[in-house]
C-alpha cells in the first residue's frame, strides 16, 4: 500500500492526565492513580489514530512528561532533585535540566508498560519513539563525564538496551528523535550519527530517525524566523545519514522552507514526510496533504513515502490535533487514489 500514515510520536494529553496545551505539563495525579490514567490515555491515543485511518500507530507518548526526560527518569546517575538552567539547542531556549552526576545505568525497563498496553490494543503496526543520544546530551547538564561525546555514547548504550526490549515487546518501528541534528550539523558527521548507530545496533525491526524544526512553540517559531528563506540544515546532515544503516528519515515538509530537492540526498531511504504542520492551528485539508505528497514524490519513489506530522502534537489543543489526524488519514487515502 502506498503512503502508509504515521505520526511523529506525541498526541496531546487528556486534561484528566496532565495540564493541557503545554509542554512539560504537570501530571494531575500520582502513584497507582497516575499509572491507571496513563494506561487509559494510551488506549485512547491508539483508538483515535485507528479511527483516523493511521496505519503505523504510536502510544501518543501519553506516559512521559517530555520526550527526553521521560527516558531520563529511569536512568541511574542523574540528579533530578537539583535541576539547573541550561541554554539548549545552542541557547534557543532555557530549560531547567537534571544533572548527570555518576555513571549512567538503566534502573530497569523505561517504556514497557505503555508499549505493552498499545501492543495489546491494536493489530496495526506500532512505532515507538526514543530520544536520540545527541539530543539527550544537549538536554542534560554534565557534571560527571566531562566529555559530551563520551556521555552521548553512554546514553546510546542505554537506548540500545531499551530499544531491543521494545522490539521484543512487539514494536515494529523504533524511531530516534534527533532535533539536535538540525543544530549541531558538523557534529552529526563527526560523532552524532555514530552515536545514533550505536543506539540502533542489532535491531532487526525497522529503524528511523526524526529530525525536525521542533514543536510549534514560540521559541521554535522565533528561531525559524532567523533561518532565512531556505532551510538547508538537512543538506549538511543527509549525506552522513544516507551512509548509515538507519532505514527511515522523518522530516518536516508542510509549511516549511526546506527545499524538498534535498531529499534526493537520501537514496534508498524511506522518507516519513511531514504533511501536517504542528506549528499552526489551521487544519489541513486532504488536498493540502496530497499537494505535499506530490511535491515529495518528485524526489522520492512513491513506494518510499510515509505520510506523517512535522513533529509531535503534545502541546496542541486536542480537538485540533484530532482534526489534523483525520486530515492525515483522509489525505493519504486521496493521494493513493490519485497517484496509485
- Footprint of Zn ion on this chain (CB under 5 A)? 212, 311
Nearer to Zn ion, 117 or 130 (CB): 130
Closest CA to 177 of 79, 58, 86: 58
**Count, residues in the chain:** 340
Nearest approach, Cβ of residue 266 and Zn ion (Å): 17
Nearer to Zn ion, 117 or 185 (CB): 185
Q: Please tell me whether residue 311 adopts helix, strand or coil conformation.
A: coil
Nearest approach, Cβ of residue 22 and Zn ion (Å): 17
> Do residues 277 and 316 lie in contact, with contact meaning Cβ atoms separated by under 8 Å?
no
Burial class (CB in 10 A: 0-12, 13-18, 19+), 267: exposed
Nearest approach, Cβ of residue 132 and Zn ion (Å): 11
Nearer to Zn ion, 144 or 184 (CB): 184
Nearest approach, Cβ of residue 169 and Zn ion (Å): 23
Nearer to Zn ion, 61 or 169 (CB): 61
How far, in Å, CA of 67 to CA of 63, rounded? 10
How far, in Å, CA of 250 to CA of 309, rounded? 9
Q: What is the DSSP string of 48-100?
A: HHHHTT-SEE--TTTT-SSTTHHHHTTEEEEEEEEEEEEEETTTTEEEEEEEE
Nearer to Zn ion, 77 or 133 (CB): 133
Nearest approach, Cβ of residue 252 and Zn ion (Å): 8
Nearer to Zn ion, 98 or 312 (CB): 312
Nearest approach, Cβ of residue 8 and Zn ion (Å): 5
> Do residues 272 and 296 lie in contact, with contact meaning Cβ atoms separated by under 8 Å?
no
- H/E element, 133: helix 133-137
Amino acid at each position: 500500500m502506498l503512503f502508509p500514515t504515521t505520526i511523529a510520536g506525541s498526541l496531546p494529553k487528556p486534561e484528566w492526565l496532565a495540564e493541557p496545551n503545554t509542554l512539560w505539563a504537570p501530571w494531575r495525579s500520582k502513584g497507582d492513580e497516575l499509572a491507571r490514567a496513563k494506561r487509559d490515555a494510551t488506549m485512547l491515543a491508539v483508538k483515535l489514530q485507528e479511527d483516523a485511518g493511521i496505519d503505523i500507530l504510536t502510544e501518543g507518548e501519553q506516559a512521559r512528561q517530555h520526550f527526553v526526560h521521560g527516558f531520563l527518569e529511569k536512568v541511574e546517575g542523574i540528579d533530578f532533585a537539583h535541576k539547573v538552567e541550561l541554554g539548549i539547542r545552542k541557547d534557543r531556549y532555557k530549560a531547567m535540566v537534571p544533572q548527570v552526576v555518576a555513571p549512567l545505568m538503566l534502573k530497569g525497563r523505561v517504556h514497557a508498560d505503555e508499549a505493552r498496553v498499545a501492543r495489546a490494543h491494536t493489530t496495526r503496526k506500532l512505532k515507538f519513539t526514543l530520544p536520540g543520544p545527541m539530543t539527550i546530551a544537549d538536554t542534560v547538564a554534565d557534571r560527571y563525564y566531562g566529555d559530551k561525546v563520551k556521555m552521548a555514547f553512554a546514553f546510546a548504550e542505554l537506548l540500545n538496551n531499551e530499544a531491543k526490549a521494545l522490539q521484543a515487546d512487539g514494536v515494529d518501528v523504533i524511531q530516534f528523535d534527533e532535533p539536535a541534528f538540525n543544530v549541531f550539523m558538523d557534529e552529526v558527521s563527526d560523532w552524532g550519527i555514530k552515536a545514533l548507530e550505536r543506539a540502533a545496533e542489532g535491531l532487526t525491526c525497522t529503524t528511523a530517525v526524526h529530525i525536525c524544526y521542533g514543536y510549534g512553540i514560540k521559541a521554535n517559531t522565533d528561531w525559524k524566523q532567523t533561518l532565512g528563506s531556505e532551510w538547508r540544515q538537512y543538506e549538511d546532515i543527509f549525506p552522513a545519514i544516507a551512509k548509515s544503516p538507519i532505514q527511515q528519515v522523518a522530516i518536516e515538509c508542510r509549511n516549511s522552507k526546506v527545499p524538498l530537492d534535498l531529499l534526493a540526498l537520501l537514496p534508498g531511504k524511506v522518507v516519513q514526510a511531514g504533511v501536517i504542520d504542528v506549528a499552526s492551528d489551521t487544519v489541513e485539508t486532504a488536498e493540502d496533504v496530497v499537494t505535499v505528497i506530490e511535491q515529495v514524490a518528485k524526489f522520492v519513489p512513491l513506494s518510499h513515502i510515509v505520510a506523517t506530522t512535522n513533529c509531535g502534537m503534545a502541546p496542541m489543543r486536542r480537538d485540533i490535533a484530532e482534526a489534523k489526524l483525520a486530515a492525515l488519514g483522509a489525505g493519504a487515502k486521496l493521494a493513493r487514489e490519485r497517484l496509485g
